[in-house]
Amino acid sequence: MSETTLHIANATDATFEQVVIAASRTRPVVVDFWAAWCGPCRQLSPLLERVAARHVGEVDVVKVDVDANPDVARRYRIQGIPAVKAFRDGQVAAEFTGLQPEAVVGQFFEALAPSVADRLAAQADEAEPDQREALLGQAVAEQADHPAAVVALATILAERDDSDEAARLLRRLPADPAARRLLAELHLREGAADDIDDLRRQAATGGQPRLRLGRALAANGDSEEALEVLITAVRDPDTREGARSAVLELFAVLGDHSELVRAWRPKLASALF
* Residues acting as catalytic residues: 38, 41
Radius of gyration over every alpha carbon of the chain, rounded to an integer in angstroms = 26
Give yes or no for a contact between 250 and 230, defined as CB atoms under 8 angstroms apart.
yes
Q: Are 30 and 48 in contact (CB under 8 A)?
A: yes
CA distance 162 to 155: 10
**7-11 long-range CB contacts below 8 Å, 24 or more apart?**
8/49, 8/52, 8/61, 8/62, 8/63, 9/60, 9/61, 9/62, 9/63, 10/62, 10/63, 10/64, 10/65, 11/62, 11/63, 11/64, 11/69, 11/72
| CA–CA distances in Å: residue 264 to residues 23, 185, 228, 231, 241 | 38, 18, 9, 9, 17
Burial-class residue 59 by CB neighbours within 10 Å (0-12, 13-18, 19+).
buried
Helix (H, G, I), strand (E, B) or coil at 242: helix
Strands of 66-132, DSSP E: 83-88, 91-97
Can you tell me the distance from the alpha carbon of 177 to that of 186, in angstroms, rounded to the nearest whole number?
A: 14
